[in-house]
Amino acid sequence: MLAAGMMCCAAATAQSRGALRLNEVMVENTAEGIADEYGAHHGWIEIFNTNFAPIEISSIYLTNDSTNPTKYPVPLGDVNTRMPKRQHVIFFTDGEPNKGTFHTNFVLTPGADNWIGIYDADGRTLIDEIIVPAALTAGQSYARSEDGKGEWAVRTGGADDYITPSSANVINDTNQKIQDFAERDANGFGMTIMAMCIVFSALLVLCLCFYGIGKINSAMSRVNKARAHGHEAPQLKTIKEVGHDTGEEIAAIAMALEQHFNAHDAESTVLTINKVRRAYSPWSSKIYNMREVPSRK
């Protein structure tokens, strides 16, 4: 299992290194060009990471000799060999590798064709290569039209073909997408409609969220109430149904009301008074009411 994991990791690393591209080369640097950390001006090779993820470039090989693919191995242990996504790194071709990781052990020859290649850590897999033409003069670079892709062309450092070590080969001072949108929507109607759609969509999402939260709270309240009365979760549906009046109960209530309001028959409005002769009763005799008239004081 461990061996399989190491093999997968190695395969992923090799695949990511395959995204490295030679991006720009200067054979003969001048005083106006970029200097290394020692202030010296030497030829340089720029490599670009086309991946949208960082790449560890230590242990790859950089060479100017197709018969010797492992001429300059990039040393291990340097934190700067971890290239960020879509970024550049410069190697100075000064033939002095003792100066640091980014100083090769070979130099480029001015006035001659210079073949440059990048090999993977196995020393056999060619990642990228380029032949820099002999017509390249001092202070000029040979670069791609875009980072990591496009045609190669000579750059003289002018306004239209500027030299860009450690930076993008195409420098955009404006956002083309914004400009295109501004041209197509000069009055801003499209932007207004888009903003309103975003606002209403956000409100709709909020309404749905609140509705869902209410449903969840109601369900949780029923669950807690059922548990408080000693009912289990499977009985919640039965409890909910019992809480409502059934058809039989409604019919019984209607019949009871009918009996209550129509309990007596229709009666005549004629009153009949009959004299009733009652037998004597001492309880109704006046002689037993008072024995003595009370005196007023």
Q: 2-171: what fold?
A: Immunoglobulin-like (2.60.40)
Whether this prediction's pTM lies above 0.85 is answered by no
* pLDDT tens for the chain, residues 1 to 297: 444 444 444 444 445 789 999 999 999 999 889 999 999 999 999 999 999 999 999 999 999 999 999 999 999 989 999 999 999 999 999 999 999 999 999 999 999 999 999 999 999 999 999 999 999 999 999 999 999 999 999 999 888 888 999 999 987 766 667 777 777 877 878 888 888 999 999 999 999 999 999 889 988 888 888 787 776 655 545 545 555 566 778 888 888 888 777 765 556 666 666 666 666 566 666 655 656 666 776
Q: What is the CA angle 113-116-122, rounded to 5?
A: 150
How is the chain split into domains, by residue range? Answer: 2-171, 172-244
